[in-house]
């Protein structure tokens, strides 16, 4: 079963073990909060933190894909994580130099 639509979430969430599903939901919420706070920090003269916001947004996307059992190609996720890692590296390097 593919869970690409939000309305299928209830049906699809039945296939996820309860403990794993709740940990995944908590993870998504925390990652989204980090991304939002990173954007707010970046808007206060810390533009390098946008890289961290992008990285944690990629984590949210990945965990949502796992939670909703989206059929996402491995190469696409690998490329996304490579870009996310590079943006995180640029972000921390920029913060280090400041």
Per-residue pLDDT tens listing for the chain (98 residues): 455 555 455 455 555 555 567 888 999 999 999 999 999 999 998 888 899 999 999 999 888 888 887 777 777 888 888 999 999 999 999 889 87
**Neighbouring C-beta atoms of residue 65, cutoff 10 Å:** 17
Residue-level length of the chain: 98
So what's the pLDDT on residue 17? Answer: 57
- DSSP annotation string for 51-67: HHHHHHHHHHHHHHHHH
* pLDDT at position 33: 96
Phi-psi region of 69 (alpha: psi -120 to 50; beta: other; left: phi over 0): left
| Domain extents in the chain | 6-97
C-alpha 58/C-alpha 55 separation (Å) is 5
How far apart are alpha carbons 83 and 92 in whole angstroms? 14
């Amino acid at each position: 079963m593919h869970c690409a639509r939000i309305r299928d979430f209830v049906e699809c969430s039945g296939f996820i073990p309860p403990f794993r599903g709740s940990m995944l939901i908590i993870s998504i919420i925390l990652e989204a909060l980090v991304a939002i706070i990173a954007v707010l920090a970046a808007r206060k003269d810390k533009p390098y933190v946008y890289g961290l916001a992008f990285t944690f947004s990629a984590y949210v996307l990945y965990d949502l894909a796992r939670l909703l059992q989206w059929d996402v190609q491995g190469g696409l996720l690998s490329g996304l994580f490579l870009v996310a890692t590079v943006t995180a590296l640029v972000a921390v390097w920029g913060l280090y130099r400041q």
